C-alpha cells in the first residue's frame, strides 16, 4: 500500500542572514530523514521506534504531505504522491496526532471537529446525513452521540484521543499514520486505545504506520518493526523475530532497557552515551560512538541496509 524509496528531508537551520554575513558563517542544514526506504503491506501495522529526535515523526509528516521530501519518492497504492492529485489520495490517508490536548480545536464542539474532514473534502451529503455519520463515528470509538454537543475540555485525555480517532475515520481512510497516539495517556487508558485501534483495524481493514518510543506498546500492536537512529533506518523485521532475535546493537540496547521483573538480578546493557549532534553526525556508522562492537570500518564506512536470510534487513557491518 505504501512505499518509501530513499526518502530524505533537510531543514535549513541557518542563523539569520545578517549574522551569517558579519560572522562569515555558511548555511547549515539538518538532515532529519536520511535515505529511508521501507514498504507497508495492506492490512498490516508497521511500527517505527527509536529515541526522541531520530526522525520518526518527520517520516509521518512526509507521508501525509505536511512536509515535502527533499529527495526520494513516496508511492501510495501505486501512485507517486509528488505527481498525483493530492486531494483524491489524501482522503484515503489520515493522521492521529500525539497530544490529544493540543490537536483538537478548543472553540469547536466535538460534532464539528469530527465532521471537519468530511466538509474539507467536499463530500457533505446534507445536514441530517452528516449528523448521523458523526453519531455513528462517535459510537464506533466508544463514545455516545450526545457527546457531539460538548467541547474538548469536558473530556479526559483518553476520551479526547477517541475523538481524534473518530475524526481520522470520518473520511473513510484506508491508511492511518499514528504519531505516538498513546504517549500522553495513562497506562490503563493506553491499553483501551490500543485495543480500540486493533478492533477498528480488523473491522474496517485499516493499514497502520504506528510511531512510538515505547517498545511494550509496539510489541502489543505491530506486525513489523522498523528501528530508526539519527534519521536512518538501522533494522526492520517481523515483530516476533525482532523481539526474539534483535540483530543491530542499537536494537538490542533498546530491548534491554525495557523493564522486566523476570530479568531482576541479571546483567543488562543500558543504552549508554548520548545521541550525536545531528548537525555534525560522526563519520561512518552514526551509532559507532555508542556501539560496543564498533571497529575501524564502522568509523569510516557507512553501512548499507542489507537483507537478512530470515527476513528483514539491518544496517550493520558486524551483522
Q: 2-92+175-269: what CATH class?
A: alpha beta
Positive/negative CA dihedral, 18, 21, 22, 23? positive
pLDDT grade for 39, boundaries at 50, 70 and 90: very high
Strand ranges (E), 149-231? 175-179, 207-211, 224-229
Q: How many residues does the chain have?
A: 319
pLDDT grade for 272, boundaries at 50, 70 and 90: low
Q: Domain segments of the chain: what residues?
A: 2-92+175-269, 101-172
pLDDT score at 85 = 59
Q: Evaluate if residue 125 carries a pLDDT over 80.
A: no
Cα(167)–Cα(114) distance, integer angstroms: 4
pLDDT grade for 260, boundaries at 50, 70 and 90: low
Phi, psi of 231 (to 5 degrees): 85, -5
Q: Which residues pair with 33 in a beta bridge?
A: 9
Q: Are 315 and 286 in contact (CB under 8 A)?
A: no
pLDDT score at 84 = 62
For the chain, what is the mean pLDDT?
87
Cα(257)–Cα(268) distance, integer angstroms: 8
pLDDT digits (tens, 9 = 90+) for 47-89: 999 888 888 999 999 998 889 999 999 999 888 888 765 667 7
- Work out the average pLDDT over 215-222: 88
pLDDT grade for 122, boundaries at 50, 70 and 90: confident
pLDDT score at 225 = 95
Amino acid at each position: 500500500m505504501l512505499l518509501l524509496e530513499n526518502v530524505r528531508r533537510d531543514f535549513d537551520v541557518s542563523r539569520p542572514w545578517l549574522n551569517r554575513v558579519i560572522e562569515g558563517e555558511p548555511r547549515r542544514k539538518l538532515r532529519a530523514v536520511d535515505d529511508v526506504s521501507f514498504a507497508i503491506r495492506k492490512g498490516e501495522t508497521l511500527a517505527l521506534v527509536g529515541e526522541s529526535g531520530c526522525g520518526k515523526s518527520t517520516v509521518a509528516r512526509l507521508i501525509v504531505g505536511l512536509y515535502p521530501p527533499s529527495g526520494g519518492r513516496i508511492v501510495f497504492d501505486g501512485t507517486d504522491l509528488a505527481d498525483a492529485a493530492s486531494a483524491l489520495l489524501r482522503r484515503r490517508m489520515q493522521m492521529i496526532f500525539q497530544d490529544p490536548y493540543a490537536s483538537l480545536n478548543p472553540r469547536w464542539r466535538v460534532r464539528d471537529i469530527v465532521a471537519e474532514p468530511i466538509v474539507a473534502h467536499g463530500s457533505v451529503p446534507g445536514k441530517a446525513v452528516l449528523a448521523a455519520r458523526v453519531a455513528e463515528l462517535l459510537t464506533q470509538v466508544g463514545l455516545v452521540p450526545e457527546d457531539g454537543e460538548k467541547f474538548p475540555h469536558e473530556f479526559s485525555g483518553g476520551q479526547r484521543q477517541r475523538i481524534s480517532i473518530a475524526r481520522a475515520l470520518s473520511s473513510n481512510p484506508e491508511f492511518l499514520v499514528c504519531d505516538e497516539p498513546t504517549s500522553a495517556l495513562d497506562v490503563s487508558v493506553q491499553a483501551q486505545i490500543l485495543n480500540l485501534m486493533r478492533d477498528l483495524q480488523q473491522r474496517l481493514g485499516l493499514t497502520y504506520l504506528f510511531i512510538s518510543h515505547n517498545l511494550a506498546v509496539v510489541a502489543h500492536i505491530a506486525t513489523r518493526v522498523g528501528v530508526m537512529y539519527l534519521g536512518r533506518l538501522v533494522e526492520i523485521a517481523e515483530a516476533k523475530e525482532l523481539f526474539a532475535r534483535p540483530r543491530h546493537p542499537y536494537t538490542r540496547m533498546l530491548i534491554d532497557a525495557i523493564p522486566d521483573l523476570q530479568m531482576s538480578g541479571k546483567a543488562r546493557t543500558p543504552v549508554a552515551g548520548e545521541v550525536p549532534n545531528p548537525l555534525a553526525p560522526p563519520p561512518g556508522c552514526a551509532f559507532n560512538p555508542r556501539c560496543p562492537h564498533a571497529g575501524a570500518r564502522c568509523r569510516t564506512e557507512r553501512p548499507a541496509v542489507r537483507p537478512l536470510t530470515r527476513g528483514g534487513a539491518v544496517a550493520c557491518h558486524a551483522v
